Amino acid sequence: MAVGWFYLSFYSLWFLGLMCIILTIYWVQLWHGGFAWDGTLLMFNYHPVFMVVGSVVLYSAASLLYRLPQSWVGPKLPWKIGHAMLHLLAFILTVLGLVAVFQLHRRSRITNLYSLHSWLGIVTVFLFACQWFLGFVVFLLPWMSMWLRSLLKPIHVFFGVIILSLSIASVISGINEKLFFSLNNATQPYTNLPSEAIFANSLGMLVVVFGLLVLYILLVSSWKRPEPGILTEGQPLLRDGE
């Protein structure tokens, strides 16, 4: 029963993640003209896509890698490398999303980092960079002592959850800010809930649901990787899957 519920939650999660990506691309393609890496508003359209793909979906995939029962047996190093590489890919896409914004602002002479959304976003990226670097040094390089790893692991996990929560907050505040800018006119004001507003608000809610499901899977104790040599009654996935 436990393994069935786990995989139902897991596959539902990735369906939601895929929908978040597809709907974000559809939003900027249909209402904002598509994509072009040319310093115009079309370049900005990469920003929401890269942020949803990188800081939300791929970040979540990396965070959940150790929840797979297959990661609980055999050598841990390949899973560590996969965890680090997925996070690195997520970080690269997140940085590209920032580049798209800063390039547009530079060419359009718009001030950087003036809104609450931008403050949330830059703090999230800074914490993400620190988290990845310290995780690489402490948990992947071989010379770090086990007692220090054990000491820092809860802190690493805690900040992983914090960064994901900040990423979700940054994305939904960014969607809201974009709607305020694009629907700031007399013919289709945001307050009249035109079709773009309904679509993008729904996208924001979908991102929230995705994030909540990720946090649920992360926090269920029976779905956490057991300590070496220990498989308690509260961690039944391997038994159910044998």
2 pLDDT tier (thresholds 50, 70, 90): low
Tens-place pLDDT, residues 18-62 = 999 999 999 999 999 999 999 889 999 999 999 999 999 999 999
pLDDT of residue 224: 80
Q: What pLDDT score was predicted for residue 142?
A: 85
The amino acid that residue 160 corresponds to is G
The structure's pTM equals 0.91
All structural domains of the chain with their residue ranges: 1-219
pLDDT, averaged across the chain: 90
Sign of CA dihedral 92, 95, 99, 100: positive
Fold for domain 1-219?
Answer: Four Helix Bundle (Hemerythrin (Met), subunit A) (1.20.120)
